[in-house]
Amino acid sequence: MLGLSIRARLALWYAGVFAVSLGAVSVALYGVVARRSLASGDAALYEAATAVATAIEIEAEDKRSPMDVATRVVREFRFRDLQVAVYDPTTSTLVPGEAPAEGEEVGVDSIARVIASQAFRLEAPGFRSFLAAASLSQPTYVNLGSGEFDVRAIALPHRIARRTIIVGAVHRLHSHRRLLAGVRLALGLGIPLLLVLSTLGGYLVARKSLQPVAVMTDRAAQISATTLHERLPVANPNDELGRLARVFNDLLARLGAAFEQQRQFIADASHELRTPVAIVSGEAELALSRDDRSPDELRTALRTIREEMLALQRIVEDLFLLARAHAGERLLSPSEMYLGELCAESVRSIRTLAARKEITVRYDGSDELPMRGDEDLLRRVLRNLLDNAIKYTPVGGSVNVTANAENGRYVLEVADTGLGVPAEARARVFDRFYRAQRAREAGELASGAGLGLAIAQWIVHAHAGNVALIKSDATGSVFRVTLPAGVGNWEPGTGNGLPATAGMDQGNG
């Protein structure tokens, strides 16, 4: 069964269900026909016996013996395809005339010999015994004989004056048997034919219904990493296969975007790594090109190499962190901490860097704000936001950090008095390696690989929070971070509670 195609399995299942259903209907139909046919014959027997009993009762009113009347009535009554007899339980007399001894073929055939006008003869073994043993309170039906001489008999008790007589009637069951034989023949020939037709029809319907799957399979087999722009055909967008095709096309679109981002990531990483490597290589070659270089020149070259290697080390560490996060590795080590203290410490540690540009850095907020999180990673978020604020704030400007509890969450804001983010760059500030043209022209202090905000976004998302650029104009920019408030309200799950794309493939906060 498992080796068959889906269409073959569907056809077989359809045929199996149809066979069971058809079999049940056939059995029920056969039973209904059999009961109705037998009931029709029983009704004819009952009417004949009732007519005989009524006639005997009417003619017995002139005080004559009921059995004498029964003899005359039985001989006068004529019925098609059935015969009647009257049995007296008191004298064990079968009218007309005494029946043969027990063991012989008795019953209606005996009566038929006496009543010469009867249209046919019946062999009904045990008919006298049946009348003798019949109930005296209600009609009794029974099948007598077997095979070709199978008959249906009725014993109808009827009270006349103070005596109870049994009026019997009998007819052959050959019409009933022929009807059932015809029904069996029709069912025996019709059911296999219907099963064959239904199986063939089910196979054709399954083949037609699954035709879009075959088309989608062929098209999907042709799609590769270089042809992710192709899509599966959608024959009917409203049925299940159409929904499957749309979902698969959406998957292809996401895969295409992921491949494009991966290619862009490799290109950007290569570009960012090539610059410090080229500088280091150039400085080393320049230092080694002449033997008469002074110690100061060599020291300057080594200082430049050291600075570029530190920058290269930061880029490699950031890339490694993003790669581990993208792989779903558990990087967070949450513990109970105070967000206010973390903000104050980060502001104090950044003031040396801010002093080079005479920028004032302040922290306005609570010194506590207890929460549960990874203190080192959250410190990195603040460091990246403060670095960006200082880089793009002119000499003499200010950076202000606030942290407070609002509506059950902690809200942290970093505001600067810089030039702001260009409108066309605001939606991409959290992209990896993205730096606006204004940032690239800002000089040495604004140098960087463009990974700081992407890492900050991933860390905040991993803490079940959010980070966004809520304001950016000529007066400065404001970045807002929201985090769960209180301890015990968040625990990192598998993959640090972060979808695989969060902070990695998203372009904004």
Asked if pLDDT for residue 370 goes beyond 60, the answer is yes
pLDDT at 35: 93
Of 236, 259, 258, 261, give the one whose Cα is nearest residue 246: 236
**Listed range (178-187, 313-322, 338-347) with the worst mean pLDDT:** 313-322
Q: Are residues 148 and 264 in the same domain?
A: no
Q: Are residues 31 and 114 in the same domain?
A: yes
- In total, how many domains does the chain have? 3
> Per residue in 318-348, is it b (16+ CB within 10 Å) or e — as a string?
bbebbeebbeeeebbebeebbbbebbbebbe
User: What's phi and psi for 389, nearest 5 deg?
Assistant: -60, -45
Q: Are residues 108 and 32 in the same domain?
A: yes
**What is the H or E stretch that residue 168 is in?**
strand 163-172
- Cα–Cα distance for residue pair 123/132, rounded to 1 Å: 18
**Cα 62 off chain centre by:** 85
Q: Are residues 278 and 402 in the same domain?
A: no
Strands, E assignment, 188-344: 335-338
Output 149 or 55, whichever has higher pLDDT. 55
pLDDT at 445: 40
Within a domain: 192:
no
Asked if pLDDT for residue 438 goes beyond 80, the answer is no
pLDDT at 123: 58
Output 329 or 431, whichever has higher pLDDT. 431
- 311: CATH: 1.10.287.130
Within a domain: 164:
yes
Within a domain: 234:
no
User: What's phi and psi for 90, nearest 5 deg?
Assistant: -70, -45
pLDDT at 500: 36
Asked if pLDDT for residue 117 goes beyond 60, the answer is no
Q: Are residues 376 and 297 in the same domain?
A: no
Picking from 260, 294, 325, the residue at the C-terminal end of a domain is 325
**What is the H or E stretch that residue 390 is in?**
helix 375-391
- 110: CATH: 3.30.450.20
> Per residue in 199-224, is it b (16+ CB within 10 Å) or e — as a string?
beebbeebbeebebeeebeeeeeebe
- Cα–Cα distance for residue pair 412/402, rounded to 1 Å: 6
Picking from 264, 296, 325, the residue at the C-terminal end of a domain is 325
Going from the C-alpha of 488 to that of each of 112, 335, 337, 370, 459, the distances in angstroms are 104, 9, 11, 10, 18
**Listed range (190-194, 229-233, 260-264, 386-390) with the worst mean pLDDT:** 260-264
Picking from 325, 355, 384, the residue at the C-terminal end of a domain is 325
**Listed range (105-119, 143-157, 271-285, 349-363) with the worst mean pLDDT:** 105-119
Within a domain: 235:
no
Share of the chain above pLDDT 90, in %: 19
pLDDT at 34: 93
Query: How many CA atoms lie less than 13 Å away from 291 in the CB half-sphere?
Result: 0
Contact present, 171 and 44 (Cβ < 8 Å): yes
Q: Are residues 313 and 381 in the same domain?
A: no
Q: Are residues 295 and 400 in the same domain?
A: no
User: What is 402-440 written as a DSSP string?
Assistant: EEEEETTEEEEEEEE-S----GGGGGGTTSTT---HHHH
Mean pLDDT, range 88-97, rounded to an integer: 68
pLDDT at 119: 35
Output 60 or 477, whichever has higher pLDDT. 477
At 28, the pLDDT band (50, 70, 90 cuts) reads very high
- Cα–Cα distance for residue pair 204/197, rounded to 1 Å: 10
Q: Are residues 145 and 61 in the same domain?
A: yes
pLDDT at 327: 66
pLDDT at 204: 86
Contact present, 329 and 492 (Cβ < 8 Å): no
Within a domain: 304:
yes
Q: Are residues 78 and 96 in the same domain?
A: yes
Of 35, 417, 31, 405, give the one whose Cα is nearest residue 187: 31
pLDDT at 434: 65
Mean per-residue pLDDT of the chain: 78
Asked if pLDDT for residue 506 goes beyond 60, the answer is no
Q: Are residues 272 and 410 in the same domain?
A: no
pLDDT in tens, 402-431: 999 988 899 999 999 988 888 877 777 887
Q: Are residues 29 and 148 in the same domain?
A: yes
Q: Are residues 266 and 339 in the same domain?
A: no
- 366: CATH: 3.30.565.10
pLDDT at 488: 54
**Listed range (223-237, 252-266, 321-335, 487-501) with the worst mean pLDDT:** 487-501
Within a domain: 50:
yes
Within a domain: 361:
yes
Mean pLDDT, range 455-484, rounded to an integer: 90
Domain span at residue 256?
240-325
Close Cβ partners of 206 (under 8 Å, ≥ 6 residues apart): 6, 7, 8, 10, 11, 14
Q: Classify residue 354 as left (phi > 0), alpha (psi -120 to 50) or beta.
A: alpha
**Listed range (144-148, 222-226, 450-454) with the worst mean pLDDT:** 144-148
Whether the pTM exceeds 0.85: the reply is no
Contact present, 464 and 497 (Cβ < 8 Å): yes
pLDDT at 110: 39
Asked if pLDDT for residue 30 goes beyond 90, the answer is yes
Within a domain: 285:
yes
